[in-house]
Amino acid sequence: MGMLGNPSRGLLPLQKCLLYRSCVVPIATYGFRLWFFTGTPTKAQVLLLAAMQCKAALWILGAFCTSPTSGIEALADLIPIHLHLKKLVKWSCLRTATLPSQHALISLLGAKHFKGASSHLQSLALLNNTQCARLKGPFLDTEASLLNLTECFNPLYAKATSGCRLLDSFPDCISFHPCNCSSLRDYKTYLQSLDCFCLEVSSSSSTLVVITDASVSEVVYTGG
Greater model confidence, 57 or 125: 57
Least confident stretch, 150-154, 201-205, 220-224:
220-224
Last residue of a domain, one of 92, 122, 151: 92
Last residue of a domain, one of 45, 63, 92: 92
Whether residue 7 is contained in a domain is answered as no
Whether residue 49 is contained in a domain is answered as yes
Cα–Cα distance measured from residue 106 to residue 118, given in angstroms and rounded to the nearest whole number:
9
Give residue 217's pLDDT: 52
Task: Check whether 46 has a pLDDT greater than 70.
Answer: yes
Cα–Cα distance measured from residue 54 to residue 48, given in angstroms and rounded to the nearest whole number:
10
> Among the residues of 67-116, which ranges form H helices?
69-75, 81-95
Least confident stretch, 36-40, 119-123, 167-171:
119-123
Binned at pLDDT 50, 70 and 90, residue 96 comes out as: confident
- The count of structural domains within the chain is 2
Residue 196: domain span: 175-224
Give residue 88's pLDDT: 92
Task: Check whether 94 has a pLDDT greater than 60.
Answer: yes
* Type of residue found at 31: G
Cα–Cα distance measured from residue 115 to residue 102, given in angstroms and rounded to the nearest whole number:
9
Greater model confidence, 124 or 35: 35
Whether residue 8 is contained in a domain is answered as no
Residue 102 falls in which region: left (phi positive, over 0), alpha (psi -120 to 50) or beta: alpha
Residues near 21 by beta carbon (within 8 Å), at least 6 away in sequence: 78
Summarised one tens digit per residue, pLDDT across range 116-137 is 667 777 777 777 778 777 778 8
List of long-range contacts for 10-16, beta carbons under 8 Å, 24+ apart:
13/60, 13/61, 13/62, 13/76, 16/59, 16/60
- DSSP designation for 23: I
Whether residue 33 is contained in a domain is answered as yes
Give residue 168's pLDDT: 80
Binned at pLDDT 50, 70 and 90, residue 143 comes out as: confident
Whether residue 214 is contained in a domain is answered as yes
Whether residue 71 is contained in a domain is answered as yes
Task: Check whether 179 has a pLDDT greater than 60.
Answer: yes
Q: Burial code of 101-138, b = ≥16 C-beta within 10 A, e = fewer?
A: eeeeebbbbbeebbbebebbeebbeeeeeeeeeeeebb
Last residue of a domain, one of 92, 124, 140: 92
114 near 125, Cβ under 8 Å? yes
Whether residue 86 is contained in a domain is answered as yes
Whether residue 194 is contained in a domain is answered as yes
